[in-house]
Structure 1
Amino acid sequence: MDHFLYRDGVLHAEDVPLPEIAAAAGTPFYVYSTATLTRHFRLFDEALAGMDHLVCYAMKANSNLAVLRVLADLGAGMDVVSGGEYRRARAVGVPGDRIVFSGVGKTRAEMRLALEGGIRQFNVESEPELLALSDVASGLGLTAPIALRVNPDVDARTHAKIATGKSENKFGIPIARAREVYAEAAALPGIEVVGIDVHIGSQLTDLAPFEAAYTKVADLTAALRADGHDIRRLDLGGGLGIPYARDNSAPPLPLEYGEVIRRTVGHLGCEVEIEPGRLIAGNAGLLVSEVIYRKVGEGRDFLILDAAMNDLIRPAMYDAWHDIVPVAEPAPGAERGPVDVVGPVCESGDTFAVQRDLPHMVAGDLVAFRSAGAYGAVMSSEYNSRPLIPEILVKDEQFAVIRARPSFDEMLKRDTIPEWL
């Protein structure tokens, strides 16, 4: 469920009509719903009610400070994958003991930043990283709490570019070597083993891969405890998918996901961490754009928008589907037809949809891309010297610009021409 509905013939974000935002901020823009962010976080929190747990929002999905503040105020922890994300989490008041540092390529500078600023745990992905963390922590006279990320060799049945739990993926330590590496970790200075981490991919729409991975984690927990390790925390990752197309069958609910967790690891007495990102932020956001031209081609029509692949890269990168709807609600029985929805960038890949059946739209009409709150603004760029587009947060009948569109002067001033030119 989201809070983007037609009211009096116009698509609203909560109680704000989208044309009102377009008039104030210009198009294109991203808009996020506070009510949807809140609801989706609480669904995960409630799914693990009665268990010792922490929901750590995977902020790579959407790291705008205002979005983070909404979730932080609800009690969310944060899953970060860079020093920059760590700084963002701390900037909105998230204490270090609610921040988990993931990622396959942590630098020594990032380790130092988190150790000195406070950290719940590092999810360590390799032996070289483990040795580096030991060296940094012991050099500071501190102890780094760690969970080793194990690769369970489970097929997540998702897009190849967002699968992370198979043996050929770059993530984690092969589960067959876990006991050996945990023994190494326990012997290192500056390292405290606190748990196990696993994450098998993103946009999963089937619970079976989770069950297979978590069952392996439960078996590993028993083996590691027998080896003398105090395994008291299980980081089970994220990855639960969202319905991008409204006519598709809905993915499993957080409550059903929580039942899998209870069934597989609930008997172990461990604190459980989960790292949802997409399901919290995805359906909480829209990308709103204006039609520049309707172009009649040979055998097909094109809707050319003022949004482009630099604003929303997912269709070009992943062949991702986003529902596209007119902001003005079509009348019952209104004319529809197939059209290619494209942007103005000089790339054939700047295509959002091919032969999509849509109501008839013309220049000046507003369109909205649903389910654009995750991996939208965070993956955007200024390709073709197009400014980053505004982000807007809505709460009830209020809205605020939470990232402004930079001026061209601001963009130009970032570059420096050497004196010798």
Structure 2
Amino acid sequence: MKVAIVGAGPRGLWAAESLMERARQRGAAIELTVFNDRPLAEASALGAFQPGLPGQWLLNAPKSIVETQLRALDPDHELASDFPSRGTVGDLLAESWRELDAHLPPACSLTHRELAVTDIAPKGDGVEVHGERFDEVLITTGHADTWPGSLAGTEIADVPVIAPAYPASQLDSVRDDDIALVRGAALTFIDVVRRAKARVFYPVTRSGRFMEVKGYLDDAAAAQAAPAIEEASAAILTCEELAELKAILAECAMRVLEAAGGEGSAADVRAVLDGADFTGDPVAELRASLAAAEGEAPLTPALAVGIAFRDTYDALVDRASFGGRETLGGGDFDAFTRTMERVAFGPPSESAREVLALIDAGRIRIELIARGDEALADLAAEVGATVVIDSVLAPPGVVEGTLVGRLVESGIGETYADTRALHIERDGTLAGQAHIAAAGRMNEGLILGHDTLRRSEHDVVERWADRVSRAALSYPERVHGMPPLAPKHVAWSDELLANPDACRALIEEYGSPVNVLNPAPMAANIAELVDAGEAAGVETKVFYARKANKALVFADTARDTGNGVDVASENELRQVLARGVPGERIILSAAIKPDALLKLAIDNGVVISADNRGEYDRIAGLAQASARVALVAPRLAPDPATMPPTRFGERLDAWAQHLARPGEHVRAVGVHAHLHGYAAADRSSALTECMQLTDLLTAAGHAPEFIDIGGGVPMRYLADEGEWRAYQHAIEQQRNGYATPFTWKSDPLTNTYPYWQEPTRGPWLGEVLAGGIGAGLRERGLRLHLEPGRSLLDGCGVILAEVAFVKTRSDGLPLVGLAMNRTQCRTTSDDYLTDPYLVEASGAERPGELEAFLVGAYCIEDELILRRKIRFPRGVVPGDIVAIPNAAGYFMHILESASHQIPLAKNVVWEPGGQPRLDDIDA
């Protein structure tokens, strides 16, 4: 998908980061182009946040609201002031663009193009930008550089005009002896007087007032006022008219005033809300506001109203946006919010102090401050102005002459109701369009407070990123984890999962969860290994690692193919013997072997893997006591210089010395090794050392017949290597703190199976036996024994679990509860990384897309079935069935627990064409 973002300011960055984060989690491939009319280092409109701005140009919002995908503005609390310079913000934005480029998902790209975009038009099912086709375009152009009411390009009474006031270089032409007439006395005016070198500044406004200073409650007062803020926020969400809104804010402001020990009456508060509180002395008001903000005087009604308005602003945004404005009075509400903007969103104390210092020094004169309705030429002449500076920015909404203005003029866009706001849907898409969207200042009027650095108040950008990333998916209706890891297809289980009635019948008959097993793939997997050994000229026998799955149908399959079983406990051995597996086709590899287990093995001619010399001697003693000969394969621990250290077995020299001559009651019939990992090269190395031991045993009079290299035969769970690589990239980005966490509590998942591996099974064994290894076995007349579990059960089982509930955690995180516990799909690794399937309940209405974690039945907080978040495109409802595919190998049984006295899952044999039946382990 080709996507364009026009505008590289804070909102354009937000959109790009959100889109790429969703691409990372959803597996979308997106080619993103970001257009900007100035270099990236000057990305924000008018250079308002570019690096290198004057240090005294402060943000009028606290640093705590500024955060990008990369990091918060001041995570280490190194900035001295709570109100950072806009240049510092610019540094973060520029760094964040660079880091976004460095952390792109593997299937995505990012191109920055310096171009002032003037031509956007829908074209078929896409959009053309200056003739280049894109699938989606988002406009985030922010403040307009020029506007019809600007003084740019004009002269007033033969006096030069500086318009706009940004970037900072615009003010460099102001001389030390200039008399500057400045239109506006708000935040841009403060930037002007803190940068320009004029001898005197005359601000001109219509209101005749400065903005209130930003005031905040101390911790104790904030805690006391918190219930008032919470109650007011809840009330605002349901208020029906502007008068009620004002009453809610008035009550909240009075409680804020009380919590702070401020001074003022309810009438004073209402006067602030009505904009009727002007004393006529703007300088005195500014001094009082600053003193109260800095705690040198009691909190004023104006500052209390400002705090109440700011702290309930999120609720007001929800209430007033997307049509809510009309029920709050339309234009009257707009006028009210303009009044509140002066009260609630003014400068920090440091900026206000500077203004007052300049007033006291005579460099700011207020004689003209309330004469904004008069001609500027007359005012300039009256004070002998030598320069006029325009510190009034373009208004919000659609501005004539801009890109958005032209879209409206051409009919591609439209304004909303009686406002200048560009009419968009909740995901930013222009009304009447499908692939052009906009987010930011142009939407003010339809959306309240949409022109802000803060990312928490609005979800337009997030909704846009949701929609676009969803459209970029190859299979948008696929249930998948974050990021996707699609399982490879297995014909019989695909057929089962495509039959909701059959799945429902299994749950109703056997409970949830139910382990559905099919041994047919196992026989093919065994044959693949045997054939690969034969191709290398080596007789190969496969011993199914019984611990991988307790179902007896798999021991039967190993028996029926003429192969054997690896057992690790007395119960496993008794069960396998009872299934008719002869002793010589069984190997006992238990890590701990009580005497009773050893006696059972000796009595039945089972080959015993002797882990250590002491165990070997115990075997010899038990065999002698029963007048039998034990069949033993000493377990070799390979040289730790060539392979990772292992707790299993003993070194070659130790065994060679201990078995220097044959024993009367023990026959060393082979050599055994228990190896970690899956590397073919490690197996080849271990086989070389094992052959050295067989040579020594043969020379000592023993007659070894085989070498057994245990399990670790690799298999592949996934359908797509690219998805595995993308997952590895994504989890690494999460671990290093860049990617938004997609695992439960940011679990790094450092210990997981390699779900994509090549080669596997037969080709892998061919590599093991290459390079002379096969020849060495042939020359010695040795068989190769393997003890796979997982790879033999590849394709042999699926877990079905019923959805019990859908809810949220206390913080709103979506959860889907399954009628199973976490031990019923778990090994010693951190997680099962293959995506689940959803078998939808017949006739259930689908609630729509949901991204949630799967939780289980145990009463603990971290009771997770899968630790990646799962995306359900059509949602989930109780009665649905979640299927975990290809889980027969280890995941069903190795750690299963009946805690809480919850019964263990039933194991059902499902063979196409036959009737499902309980495996004999349960029957």
TM, length-normalised to structure 1: 0.82
Which amino acid in structure 2 is aligned with residue 199 of structure 1?
A: H
Give the CA RMSD over aligned residues: 2.9
Residue 148, structure 1, aligned to residue 634, structure 2: yes
Distance 1:390 1:261, change over 3 A: same
Equivalent residue, structure 2, for 1:304: 817
Residue 34, structure 1, aligned to residue 519, structure 2: yes
Distance 1:370 1:145 in 2: 39
Distance 1:4 1:368, change over 3 A: farther
List alignment gaps of at least 5 residues for structure 1: 157-164, 407-421
1:287–1:370 Cα contact (<8 Å) kept: yes
Distance 1:403 1:223, change over 3 A: closer
Equivalent residue, structure 1, for 2:611: 125
How high is the sequence identity, in percent, across the aligned residues?
Answer: 23
Greater percentage in helix: 2
Q: Which moved more, 1:87-96 or 1:249-258?
A: 249-258
Distance 1:30 1:7, change over 3 A: closer
Distance 1:294 1:374 in 2: 29
Give the alignment of 1:20-59 within 5 angstroms: 20-49=505-534, 50-59=537-546
Distance 1:145 1:405 in 2: 32
SS of the aligned residue for 2:657 comes to helix
Residue 361, structure 1, aligned to residue 876, structure 2: yes
2:610–2:635 Cα contact (<8 Å) kept: yes
Match of 2:788 among 267, 273, 276: 276
Equivalent residue, structure 1, for 2:806: 294
Residue 392, structure 1, aligned to residue 908, structure 2: yes
Residue 19, structure 1, aligned to residue 504, structure 2: yes
Distance 1:84 1:143 in 2: 22
Distance 2:853 2:667 in 1: 55
Q: Which moved more, 1:395-404 or 1:58-67?
A: 395-404
TM, length-normalised to structure 2: 0.39
2:507–2:802 Cα contact (<8 Å) kept: no
Q: CA deviation at 1:325?
A: 1.5
Match of 1:318 among 814, 822, 829: 829
2:529–2:762 Cα contact (<8 Å) kept: yes
Higher relative contact order (CA 8 A, sep 6+): 1
Equivalent residue, structure 2, for 1:416: none
Which amino acid in structure 2 is aligned with residue 87 of structure 1?
A: R
Residue 401, structure 1, aligned to residue 918, structure 2: yes
SS of the aligned residue for 2:870 comes to strand
Deviations 1:370-398 (A, max 9, x none): 22112213532210110111111111122
Distance 2:857 2:600 in 1: 41
2:521–2:795 Cα contact (<8 Å) kept: yes
Q: CA deviation at 1:6?
A: 3.8
1:215–1:265 Cα contact (<8 Å) kept: no
Distance 1:87 1:52 in 2: 28
Which amino acid in structure 2 is aligned with residue 272 of structure 1?
A: L
Residue 267, structure 1, aligned to residue 740, structure 2: no
SS of the aligned residue for 1:118 comes to coil
Distance 1:24 1:278 in 2: 28
Residue 213, structure 1, aligned to residue 725, structure 2: no
Equivalent residue, structure 2, for 1:160: none
1:79–1:100 Cα contact (<8 Å) kept: yes
Q: CA deviation at 1:275?
A: 0.7
Distance 1:192 1:6, change over 3 A: closer
Q: Which moved more, 1:82-91 or 1:36-45?
A: 36-45
Q: CA deviation at 1:25?
A: 2.1
Which amino acid in structure 1 is aligned with residue 507 of structure 2?
A: A
Distance 1:125 1:301, change over 3 A: same
Q: CA deviation at 1:12?
A: 5.6
Residue 250, structure 1, aligned to residue 773, structure 2: no
Distance 1:111 1:97 in 2: 15
Distance 1:257 1:6, change over 3 A: closer
1:41–1:280 Cα contact (<8 Å) kept: yes
Q: CA deviation at 1:17?
A: 3.7
Residue 67, structure 1, aligned to residue 582, structure 2: no
Q: Which moved more, 1:301-310 or 1:248-257?
A: 248-257
Structure 1 stretches of 4+ moved >4 Å: 153-156, 334-337, 403-406
Distance 1:220 1:188, change over 3 A: closer
SS of the aligned residue for 1:111 comes to helix
Q: CA deviation at 1:341?
A: 1.0
Q: Which moved more, 1:304-313 or 1:16-25?
A: 16-25
SS of the aligned residue for 2:538 comes to coil
SS of the aligned residue for 2:616 comes to helix
Q: CA deviation at 1:405?
A: 7.3
1:151–1:166 Cα contact (<8 Å) kept: no
1:293–1:305 Cα contact (<8 Å) kept: yes
Match of 1:182 among 659, 682, 699: 659
Which amino acid in structure 1 is aligned with residue 603 of structure 2?
A: E
Equivalent residue, structure 2, for 1:372: 887
List alignment gaps of at least 5 residues for structure 2: 1-488, 725-755, 842-846
Equivalent residue, structure 2, for 1:415: none
Distance 1:368 1:69 in 2: 26
Distance 1:75 1:318 in 2: 32
Q: CA deviation at 1:41?
A: 2.1
Match of 1:194 among 669, 679, 684: 669
Equivalent residue, structure 2, for 1:418: none
Equivalent residue, structure 1, for 2:855: 342
2:517–2:888 Cα contact (<8 Å) kept: yes
Q: CA deviation at 1:69?
A: 1.6
Q: CA deviation at 1:220?
A: 3.3
Residue 231, structure 1, aligned to residue 709, structure 2: no
Distance 1:234 1:355 in 2: 40
Query: In terms of Rg, which structure is larger?
Result: 2
Greater percentage in strand: 1
Deviations 1:13-70 (A, max 9, x none): 9xx9423322332321001112222222222222222532321111111122223223
Distance 1:152 1:337, change over 3 A: farther
Equivalent residue, structure 2, for 1:285: 797
Distance 1:404 1:58, change over 3 A: closer
SS of the aligned residue for 2:822 comes to coil
Distance 1:195 1:61 in 2: 23
Deviations 1:161-190 (A, max 9, x none): xxxx743x321112342322332xx34331
Distance 1:116 1:321 in 2: 40
SS of the aligned residue for 1:311 comes to helix
